[in-house]
Structure 1
Amino acid sequence: MDGRLQVFAGNSSPALANRIVSELEAPLGRAIVGAWKDGETRVKLEENVRGSDVFVIQTMSRPVNQNLMELLVILDALRRASAARITAVIPYYAYARQEKKTSGREPISAKLVANLLVTAGADRILTMDLHSPAIEGFFDIQVDHLRATPILAAHFRRLGLDDLVVVSPDSGSVARAEEFRRRTGGSLAIISKQRPGPERAEVLEMVGDVEGRHAVIVDDMISSGWTLVKAAEALLARGARSVRAAAVHGVFAGEAMRLIQESPIEKVFVTDTLPLPEGVSSDKVEVLTVAPLIAEAIMRIHKDLSISALFT
């Protein structure tokens, strides 16, 4: 791209956006992003973007639908203002768990969101740890899929825990847990579970030796907290010395924080792809930033350099 680099952001996570532009050593683009008196989303760009390579930072945090709509309107404004290329930077892609039909008469909402982003004007997507990698195939534009596992694993290496066992809470997270184990050392254990109801989980069986070891449960997100707490209880029942957790996206829906606070889990590590729920805190939760990684990816996209080189 010959156009200048410009970065704009919605209101979903100002702290993360400011960290990213600080890493880029670039200013955040001036824009009015708010709402009209009737609740409709209002966007007005206050800078010229004609011919620019523009990046829009907007994670899909709560309120999800409002933040999604905000992103769509910003994209439309940039397209109509003749930006040369528009990249939607979406640290957390919402609706990702609705990437297929599990029963009749259900939507595939992850595909609908992809269609909306492209229609609104996105030329490229930069996201992190999609719940289902298959979502990349929902787009006919370039998708750069970052992974936060190296950041989480590096932090665990600094903790210096011996006799570590990395635990996948279900079959879908085995690849992520194995990459984490490869970067930290230790062994691997896998939990088999079933869901008796929405956002509820029951442990059925476990493969791997955890007795006398420090266990770390590795997953892409923590939503209701049920899966995490039940897995921790099962690990301790099997003789684990301690239980910690590492997840990319801290959704912490409903009573998740309370469940974790009251659980035997020693510490939960998440990244700042999502802000912690307003008014909620826990001394058991530690947040690691992904801003340097996203900033590096933005600069590489702008300069037409390899993104995959970040993970070699």
Structure 2
Amino acid sequence: MREIKIFSGRANQKLAEDVCNFLHLKLGRVSLGEFPDGEIQCKIDEDVRGRDVFLVQPTCPPVNNNLMELLVMIDSCRRASAERITAVIPYYGYARQDRKDEGRVPITAKLVADLITSAGADRVLTMDLHAAQIQGFFNVPVDHLNASPVLNHYFLSLGVPTEDLCVVSPDAGSIKRAVTHHRRLNGELAIVDKRRTSAHETTTKNIIGGPVEGKIAVIFDDMISTAGSICGAAKVVHKAGAREIYIAATHGVLCGPAVARLQAAPIKELILTDTIPQKSQDLLTNMRVLSVAPLLGEAIKRIHNDESISALFRENIA
């Protein structure tokens, strides 16, 4: 199992190539396509018998296609006698349904975990899950990375004085994430009071903590989907007198009206990582995409060598 093989699905091949460049490896050859009826066709074009295989595939939109492609690739490697298969899922789709909050609804985060395990994955490497407890839905080891070293490094490089900075949580559910960033960046800490009115709509009213007036505010979240919540938080922070506003998130799903909302939002810069390939980059001139390839690459190397993953964040590899 000493030889490592890294393959990529079609969801984010650029990220997989960057990971391989970091590790000084060649990306494995795999043929992917569709049969005439739309079924996914897969063939691993290299010998993987007895190898330590890593399959890079975020389950971003189109979610169902990318998820099925990942399952087919896992099954291909398992039937080709790979010694160990690690599903590298930088963005884990279906994560928002992680509990039964009303009757007759599924827990799709658990369903997808079961599918990945049943397909033959021996472990999972993922980043900034929407809910950390999803790790417990798997019956195989899960290494859960977070992009905070990458994002923090960028904001520290801007040289903003501590007394001018305010780290903002866009809602109560993101307080722990904001506190993690605040420990590294310092400055003030504030929370936006967000109330959910329906499955698709939220309202933002007050700011707890702070102050944000005259400050450079940085709003952190795990993902931006339709951008309603994060733009609402930005408007509240702007109204409270923030001098400049940055929005930072790990996963830029950016679906529906997200681009239009972000274009109209009172923000100086939108910072995302490349866990999801960004097709909206040409539309948003103030978007900056940071690479998590070194972070994923170092984690892959440590998994292969049976070394500590938690040390990654103590040593601030990114």
- TM range, normalised to the smaller chain? over 0.9
Name segments (4+ residues, structure 1) moved above 3 Å: 277-280
* Counterpart for residue 42 of structure 2: 43
* Counterpart for residue 135 of structure 1: 134
TM-score (norm 1): 0.97
Q: Secondary structure at the match of 1:299?
A: helix
Return 5+ residue gaps in structure 1 as ranges: none
TM-score (norm 2): 0.96
**CA-CA distance at 1:61 after TM superposition:** 1.5
* Counterpart for residue 181 of structure 1: 182
**CA-CA distance at 1:92 after TM superposition:** 0.2
* Counterpart for residue 300 of structure 1: 302
* Counterpart for residue 253 of structure 1: 255
Q: Secondary structure at the match of 2:220?
A: strand
Return 5+ residue gaps in structure 2 as ranges: none
**CA-CA distance at 1:5 after TM superposition:** 0.3
Q: Secondary structure at the match of 1:243?
A: strand
Residue identity opposite 1:12 in structure 2: A
Q: Secondary structure at the match of 1:177?
A: helix
Does the 8 Å contact 2:91/2:276 carry over to 1? yes
d(CA) in 2 for partners of 1:47, 1:150: 34
Does the 8 Å contact 2:206/2:236 carry over to 1? no
**CA-CA distance at 1:279 after TM superposition:** 8.0
Does the 8 Å contact 1:16/1:272 carry over to 2? yes
1:46-70 CA-to-partner distances (Å, cap 9, x unmatched) read 1111100000000112111000000
Residue identity opposite 1:84 in structure 2: E
**CA-CA distance at 1:206 after TM superposition:** 1.5
d(CA) in 1 for partners of 2:185, 2:39: 48
**CA-CA distance at 1:280 after TM superposition:** 5.4
**CA-CA distance at 1:75 after TM superposition:** 0.2
* Counterpart for residue 109 of structure 2: 110
1:13-63 CA-to-partner distances (Å, cap 9, x unmatched) read 111111111111111111111111110000011111110000000011211
Tell whether 2:227 aligns with 1:228: no
1:199-220 CA-to-partner distances (Å, cap 9, x unmatched) read 3221132211111111110110
Does the 8 Å contact 2:259/2:280 carry over to 1? no
**CA-CA distance at 1:267 after TM superposition:** 0.6
Q: Secondary structure at the match of 2:278?
A: coil
Does the 8 Å contact 1:79/1:121 carry over to 2? yes
* Counterpart for residue 201 of structure 1: 202
Change (3 A) 1:279 1:293: closer
CA RMSD of aligned residues (A): 1.1
**CA-CA distance at 1:145 after TM superposition:** 0.3
1:130-177 CA-to-partner distances (Å, cap 9, x unmatched) read 010000000111000001011101100111223100000111111111
**CA-CA distance at 1:3 after TM superposition:** 3.2
1:207-242 CA-to-partner distances (Å, cap 9, x unmatched) read 111111111101101111111111111111111111
Percent identity of paired positions between Structure 1 and Structure 2: 50
Residue identity opposite 2:110 in structure 1: K
Alignment of structure 1 residues 71-110 onto 2, 5 Å? 71-110=70-109
